[in-house]
Amino acid sequence: MVFMDDNFLLSNETARVLYHQYASAMPIIDYHCHIPAEEIAKDIRFSSITDLWLGADHYKWRAMRSNGVPEELITGSGDPFEKFEAFAATLERAIGNPLYHWSHLELQRYFNITEPLTKESARRIYDQCNAVLQDPDMSARGIIRRSNVKLLCTTDDPADDLRWHRLLAMDTTFSVKVLPAFRPDRALDIEKKDFISYIKGDLSRACGRSIELYTDLKDALHERIEFFAQNGCKVSDHGMPYVCYAPCGDVQAEAIFRKALAGEPVDLYEQLQYKTNLLSFLASEYTKAGWVMQLHYGVKRDNNTKLFLQSGANNGCDCIDDYTPCAELADFLNSLCAKDSLPKTILYSLNPIDNAAIGTIIGCFQDSSCAGKIQQGSAWWFNDNKKGMEEQMTSLANLGVLGNFIGMLTDSRSLLSYTRHEYFRRILCNLIGTWVTNGEYPCDLTTLGGLVSDISFFNCNRYFDFGLTV
């Protein structure tokens, strides 16, 4: 069998037809990523494949550490080729890891390299990649265009002035839409050390006035939501250990907020009360704005303190958290629904054991306003591998309506990660093709092709009301 050929991951004829005729040419909507808008606005270039591949990819860093590579060649200041060679030596041992597939898809699609990357081939591939990077089309914008991206949403703090988004919106030479996404974690994380400095510093400056009261905070966030909306924002995002539900009134939330701003300790239950109240307020604001709310949870961050102090956050030392009280998630959504303030919502848990629970919860809150109003997000982070994607989509199909699924996102800091959409689409087509081959669904290619096209592009376009055309 040929290594990663045109029929890679497509194990049956139905899968091949669905992928090649319906999925492969669909444009990409990347509705959640971590690429800085500044990099796109400045149309940055990369000095080497090491810079592009290893500069901010914690997936690769984790694998390299597992292969005994010294930190100097991972996040340190080691020689660029030695870093690349160390990754190559790691990759040839990483059988079964999605990195193996992602990396080779990137080599094939962007560098026309079909040779497997090993320590022995590292120098040849390194030199060839670096030569290709000299091509004018291999800038940040060029890579996005080559990836057939129509629109992407970045991840932005409420205090961001959105300068780069505004510059991109006015730039007629770049047709891809780059929209902000509202990520107010620092306003919610009352237990964090930088909470006071953020509220009284960054957020206050962004609003042009001091924030002393909880009502001031809510007014400030309302203003920033309006500002983001004026700049094309249609989605919010929240990262949290779990979705809590500890309801309290505004009077209690005000007392907790003042206590925190005064530098007094806030106990765990007070933290949960504050977060429940503020997230409920934000959800109501999103509903009024017509935004989608994303809730990412089930992660325990920065577990290796020594490495965190050495190289900071997002360094590959996060893990799955098994404390995910789904009953509280259901109660929180119910409280919003009761007040008619439940926006379109996407739920992502990093813990795959939550798939079935999410599948049953979303079914409780669907309504006629939108097909699939409450979504189970695509297999996230440690789950965006072949098995994880198959399990997430199978669970969603078992408990909901897979045909209304809004599909894949990159959630990445790497401009080459758009091949993950191809990876997802191949897995999607193979899953559906397998059901057809097994006699579990009729071989109606018109209907099946419509489902695949919808999940690849059209459902997402409708769900977020992006208004894109193919």
What are the pLDDT tens digits along the chain (470 aa)? 689 999 999 999 999 999 999 999 999 999 999 999 999 999 999 999 999 999 989 999 999 999 999 999 999 999 999 999 999 999 999 999 999 999 999 999 999 999 999 999 999 999 999 999 999 999 999 999 999 999 999 999 999 999 999 999 999 999 999 999 999 999 999 999 999 999 999 999 999 999 999 999 999 999 999 999 999 999 999 999 999 999 999 999 999 999 999 999 999 999 999 999 999 999 999 999 999 999 999 999 999 999 988 888 888 999 999 888 899 999 999 999 999 999 999 999 999 999 999 999 999 999 999 999 999 999 999 999 999 999 999 999 999 999 999 999 999 999 999 999 999 999 999 999 999 999 999 999 999 999 999 999 999 999 999 999 98
Count other Cβ atoms within 10 Å, centred on residue 241: 14
Report the residue count for the chain.
470
Listed residue (43, 201, 196, 101) closest to 424, CA to CA? 101
- The answer to whether the CB of 315 falls within 8 A of the CB of 307 is yes
In contact, 161 and 216? CB cutoff 8 Å: no
What is the sign of the dihedral through the CA atoms of 64, 65, 69 and 73? positive
3-class secondary structure per residue, the chain: CCCCCCCCCCCCHHHHHHHHHHHCCCCEEECCCCCCHHHHHCCCCCCCHHHHHHCCCHHHHHHHHHCCCCHHHCCCCCCHHHHHHHHHHHHCCCCCCHHHHHHHHHHHHHHCCCCCCCCCCHHHHHHHHHHHCCCHHHCHHHHHHHCCEEEEECCECCCCCCHHHHHHHHCCCCCCEEECCECCHHHHCCCCCCHHHHHHHHHHHHHCCCCCCHHHHHHHHHHHHHHHHHCCCCEEEEEECCCCCCCCCHHHHHHHHHHHHCCCCCCHHHHHHHHHHHHHHHHHHHHHHCCEEEEEECEECCCCHHHHHHHCCCCCCCEECCCCCHHHHHHHHHHHHHCCCCCEEEEEECCHHHHHHHHHHHHHCCECCECCCEEECCCCHHHCCHHHHHHHHHHHHHHCCHHHCCCCCCCCCCHHHHHHHHHHHHHHHHHHHHHHHCCCCCCCHHHHHHHHHHHHHHHHHHHHCCCCCC
Report the C-alpha gap between 103 and 465 in whole angstroms: 33
CB 274 within 8 A of CB 190: yes
Q: Which domains are assigned to the chain?
A: 45-137 (1.10.2020.10), 141-464 (3.20.20.140)
Q: What is the pTM of this model?
A: 0.97
Q: What is the pLDDT of residue 1?
A: 67
Phi/psi for 214 (5° steps) reads -60, -35
CA distance 154 to 158: 12
> For the CA atoms of 261, 267, 268, 272, what is the dihedral angle to 10 degrees?
-50
Distance in angstroms (rounded) separating the CA atoms of residues 291 and 268: 30
CA distance 48 to 71: 19
Distance of CA 120 to the CA centre of its chain: 34
